[in-house]
Amino acid sequence: MKLMRLSMLFAALVPAMAMAAPYKVVAYYLPSQQRQYSAADIDAGKLTHLNYAFALIKDGEIVADQSSGTDQSARDFIVLRGLKSRSPKLKTLISVGGWAGSREFSDIALTPQSRKKFADSAVAFLHQNGFDGVDIDWEFPVAGGDAANIARPVDKQNYTLLLQTLRERLDAAGKQEHRSYLLTAAIGNNRGFFQNTEMAKVAAILDWANTMTYDFSGSWSKFAGHVAPLYNDPALARPDADPAFNVSSTVEMALAAGIPATKLVLGMPFYGYSWKQCGALQHGQHQDCNGKGRGGVEPGELDFADISGTLVNRNGFTRYWNDAAKVPYLFNPDTGEFVSYDDVESLDYKIKYLKQMGLAGAMFWQLSADRDAVLLDKVAKDLLKP
């Protein structure tokens, strides 16, 4: 009789357990004076984690970015603490580095002393500004990234050692304070990154990795490609197009490199890229172009809010769908402008894919590019609501 009651109780609990939302929704937020969006506009109820981008490295320590000559970061940090007080489930992380801020990583990872100094500064930064963890965005160890980066072959091992030192320092601080601090990293999307890192060891250190499964093509490319195709499209093959430059291939590389699926968060772009004077064949897809097309904050780069609001099936542009790659694109035959981006339909395929693969959730770059929360609503609805 007792066993039967336990069985009935378990049977009743299973549906409730199945309804729980185990997925992470990780948003990067980049403050921008050009966009009508501030930290106060963040809807914390649609996120599990918020990565504030970026803190910088100065004299071997983490410091707030004051490159604009203002104390914007300090004001934002106060706003984020307010968000957390109203939404206690939200966790905030300070993201360090990024494309333009990774120059010093090789130096701070070089010696036990430099690693300790950096880790100590990380804990002090969290205490001072009220963050729950650190996100390391080293773009990239050994090779790649901005041309001004310092890079060494030993970065491969030192990347692991830097993260291990951070983990130990964060855990020690957490033990003293009867809490836990998070440690995550943004990781690359190509073979070179996985060859230049020890991701099985790194994954054991991190709480999770945010894979940057976007920027497979961009306005730096000679031909018009897709920013974040889910799958390769064999029909669009050309000698200078890598068939592994897509989301699913990157996920397979990450898993093969030793990252457990449960520690892999899938990146999604809330922006697109544009090219001009592209060939008309295949509505511009993988055709040679004549440089960057129209842009918003940056030439050749467009926020989703601007793409959706001004270009989709208007102003000479027609929306098309690549059913092999599972992504939309726009083409204007009069100007030869091609725009690659993600929308609700393509995110639907990516969310189903991450669920099928047992991944930890979704990450996106970045909140203010989706000012009307069209894409954010899609991600939150599919991953957070039972």
Catalytic residues: 139
Give the per-residue SS3 of 292-306. Answer: ECCCCCCCCEEEHHH
Phi, psi angle pair for 324, to nearest 5°: -75, -45
Distance between CA 377 and CA 25 in Å, rounded? 11
